[in-house]
């Protein structure tokens, strides 16, 4: 094991270089402190995140999501034991879990494994979802990066189901596991839109309960009805987290998915703004504190001069009286991408005209992405096009907007 000082505590290094070295060496106290800094968005956390950028992309990031009480935390405890038995080092970030992950059984096993296994192989951290919309998602991503840089083989993120959390697990995780309790029945139709879009593996947990058989069949049927996509074939597995039954097969499947789909997905999606991009960083902060964007749980994904991407998961609060996504919320999403793309040049770009069309209705659980690109630009005016797409690639709305380019800079608190 490559620990410098497994106990951490007093005397831990303080400069950025020293801290990065300590994180790479898996120094637990340094990792824990860095996570707290990221959670609180403290200024020093930015330098640390930038310094570890070269170290990330090696860990297999597994997202575990599903309805409250489906057994996610219990399943993670069982997974920790399986991974430990295979000699893997695992970190867990659990977002606002009502039931703690203890790792207790793993630590018990460790004593038998002796000092070479060490309790260092498991790191568990709960993250409070007290952040504002988008803020938690960004913090979670940076925390996953940190755990990745610390050399954990697997990083597991637990979050509640689609539409109930502002963490978009599908863009963060290499492998997304959706845990379903038995007896979904008619709910299957309702949850289908949200979870099947993101699941790489569906787990029917509480396999010891009578309805597990039927739920497994229903999910299997549903997958067969769905159009076959190239690449990974989504699988339905059954587990009993309380006894560990089926968990070994689940780890085999997670490994198979990592081998086929690769790891480091969150980097490929370039969701973390590159370090040093001050304007993007300032605008991201602006987005996160913008009341309309917070109201609509709009998440900043990325931006560069003349382009921007924003995302929104449609939840109950977005629905109109017909039970579909309110056009105003879609406008807010598109307009946000438009505004961020146009304001990348350091001066205020004032919107003077917009047009929007709606092609298809949008349902609860859909994830909408708005991508804004610059169509033309003169000294005074710039025109942008924004496409709003659903998870399956369907364009749901098109937007064009014109800005008048002022010579005024952004307000002092926004000026890079």
Ligand X SMILES: Nc1nc2c(ncn2[C@@H]2O[C@H](COP(=O)(O)OP(=O)(O)OP(=O)(O)O)[C@@H](O)[C@H]2O)c(=O)[nH]1
Binding site for ligand X (CB under 6 A): 68-74, 97-99, 160, 205-206, 208-209, 240-242
Distance CA 198, CA 161 (A): 11
User: Which C-beta is closer to Mg ion: that of 209 or that of 282?
Assistant: 209
Distance CA 317, CA 298 (A): 12
99 touching Mg ion, by CB under 5 A: yes
Distances (CA, A) of 384 to 38, 253, 277, 331, 379: 34, 44, 21, 14, 15
CA dihedral over 317, 281, 266, 392, signed as positive or negative: positive
Distance CA 92, CA 140 (A): 11
| 248: partner contacted, choices ligand X, Mg ion, none (Cβ within 5-8 A by kind) | none
126 touching Mg ion, by CB under 5 A: no
161 touching Mg ion, by CB under 5 A: no
User: Which C-beta is closer to ligand X: that of 143 or that of 271?
Assistant: 143
User: Which C-beta is closer to ligand X: that of 62 or that of 160?
Assistant: 160
User: Which C-beta is closer to Mg ion: that of 99 or that of 354?
Assistant: 99
| 68: partner contacted, choices ligand X, Mg ion, none (Cβ within 5-8 A by kind) | ligand X
Q: How far is the CB of 158 from ligand X (least distance, A)?
A: 7
Distance CA 389, CA 368 (A): 6
Q: How far is the CB of 237 from ligand X (least distance, A)?
A: 12
User: Which C-beta is closer to ligand X: that of 55 or that of 245?
Assistant: 245
Query: For residue 246, what are its two tokens?
Result: 């089926």
> 388-398: b or e for each residue (b if 16 or more CB lie within 10 Å)?
bebbeeeebbe
- With CA atoms as reference, report the closest residue to 403 among 358, 343, 337, 325: 343
Q: How far is the CB of 94 from Mg ion (least distance, A)?
A: 6
Q: How far is the CB of 203 from Mg ion (least distance, A)?
A: 14
Distances (CA, A) of 378 to 9, 355, 399, 403: 57, 20, 20, 10
| 208: partner contacted, choices ligand X, Mg ion, none (Cβ within 5-8 A by kind) | ligand X
129 touching Mg ion, by CB under 5 A: no
User: Which C-beta is closer to ligand X: that of 73 or that of 372?
Assistant: 73
Q: How far is the CB of 137 from ligand X (least distance, A)?
A: 18
Distance CA 10, CA 172 (A): 33
User: Which C-beta is closer to ligand X: that of 78 or that of 388?
Assistant: 78
Q: How far is the CB of 154 from ligand X (least distance, A)?
A: 18
SS3 143: helix
Could you tell me which residues come within 8 angstroms of residue 244 by beta carbon, excluding any fewer than 6 positions away?
A: 78, 81, 82
| 206: partner contacted, choices Mg ion, ligand X, none (Cβ within 5-8 A by kind) | ligand X
Q: How far is the CB of 179 from Mg ion (least distance, A)?
A: 10
User: Site size for Mg ion, by CB under 5 A?
Assistant: 4
Q: How far is the CB of 53 from ligand X (least distance, A)?
A: 31
- With CA atoms as reference, report the closest residue to 13 among 25, 1, 2, 315: 25
CB 149 within 8 A of CB 25: no
| 322: partner contacted, choices Mg ion, ligand X, none (Cβ within 5-8 A by kind) | none
User: Which C-beta is closer to ligand X: that of 209 or that of 354?
Assistant: 209
| 69: partner contacted, choices ligand X, Mg ion, none (Cβ within 5-8 A by kind) | ligand X
User: Which C-beta is closer to ligand X: that of 240 or that of 296?
Assistant: 240
45 touching Mg ion, by CB under 5 A: no
Residues of this chain, 68-97, that bind Mg ion according to CB under 5 A: 72-73, 97
| 378: partner contacted, choices Mg ion, ligand X, none (Cβ within 5-8 A by kind) | none
| 262: partner contacted, choices Mg ion, ligand X, none (Cβ within 5-8 A by kind) | none
User: Which C-beta is closer to Mg ion: that of 191 or that of 403?
Assistant: 191
Question: What is the DSSP code (8-state) at residue 299?
Answer: E
CB 306 within 8 A of CB 372: no
Q: How far is the CB of 238 from ligand X (least distance, A)?
A: 10
Q: How far is the CB of 99 from ligand X (least distance, A)?
A: 3
| 242: partner contacted, choices ligand X, Mg ion, none (Cβ within 5-8 A by kind) | ligand X
Distance CA 382, CA 376 (A): 6
- Extract long-range pairs of 215-221: CB within 8 Å, 24+ residues apart: 215/180, 215/181, 215/182, 215/183, 215/184, 218/184, 218/188, 219/180, 219/184, 219/188
Interacting residues toward Mg ion by CB under 5 A:
72-73, 97, 99
């Amino acid at each position: 094991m490559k620990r410098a000082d497994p106990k951490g505590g007093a005397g831990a290094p303080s400069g950025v270089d020293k801290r990065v070295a300590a994180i790479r060496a898996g120094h637990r106290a340094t990792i824990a402190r860095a996570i707290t800094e990221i959670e609180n968005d403290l200024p020093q956390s930015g330098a640390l995140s930038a310094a570890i950028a070269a170290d990330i992309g090696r860990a297999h990031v597994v997202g575990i999501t599903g309805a409250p009480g489906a057994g996610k935390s219990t399943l993670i405890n069982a997974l920790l034991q399986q991974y430990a038995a295979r000699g893997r080092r695992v970190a867990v970030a659990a977002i606002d879990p009502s039931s703690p992950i203890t790792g207790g059984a793993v630590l018990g096993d460790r004593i038998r494994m002796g000092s070479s296994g060490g309790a260092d192989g498991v790191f568990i951290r709960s993250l409070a979802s007290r952040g504002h919309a988008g803020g938690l998602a960004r913090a979670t991503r940076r925390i996953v990066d940190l755990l990745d840089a610390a050399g954990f083989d697997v990083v597991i993120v637990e979050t509640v189901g689609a539409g109930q959390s502002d963490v978009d697990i599908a863009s963060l995780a290499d492998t997304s596991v959706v845990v379903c309790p038995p007896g979904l029945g008619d709910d299957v139709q309702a949850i289908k839109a949200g979870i099947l879009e993101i699941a790489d593996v569906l787990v029917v947990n509480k396999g010891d309960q009578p309805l597990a058989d039927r739920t497994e069949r229903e999910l299997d049927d549903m997958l067969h009805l769905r159009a076959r996509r190239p690449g990974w074939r989504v699988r339905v597995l059954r587990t009993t987290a309380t006894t560990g039954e089926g968990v070994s097969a689940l780890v085999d499947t997670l490994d198979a998915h990592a081998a086929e789909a690769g790891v480091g997905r969150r980097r490929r999606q370039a969701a973390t703004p590159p370090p040093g991009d001050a304007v993007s960083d300032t605008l991201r902060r602006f987005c996160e504190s913008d009341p309309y964007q917070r109201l609509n749980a709009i998440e900043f994904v990325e931006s560069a001069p003349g382009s921007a991407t924003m995302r929104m998961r449609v939840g109950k609060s977005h629905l109109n009286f017909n039970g579909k996504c309110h056009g105003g919320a879609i406008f807010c999403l598109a307009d946000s991408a438009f505004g961020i793309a146009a304001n990348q040049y350091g001066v205020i770009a004032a919107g003077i005209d917009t047009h929007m069309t709606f092609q298809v209705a949008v349902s609860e659980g859909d994830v909408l992405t708005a991508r804004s690109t610059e169509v033309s630009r003169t000294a005074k005016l710039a025109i942008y096009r924004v496409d709003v797409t659903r998870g399956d690639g369907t364009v749901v709305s098109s937007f064009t907007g014109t800005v008048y380019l002022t010579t005024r800079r952004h307000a002092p608190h926004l000026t890079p």
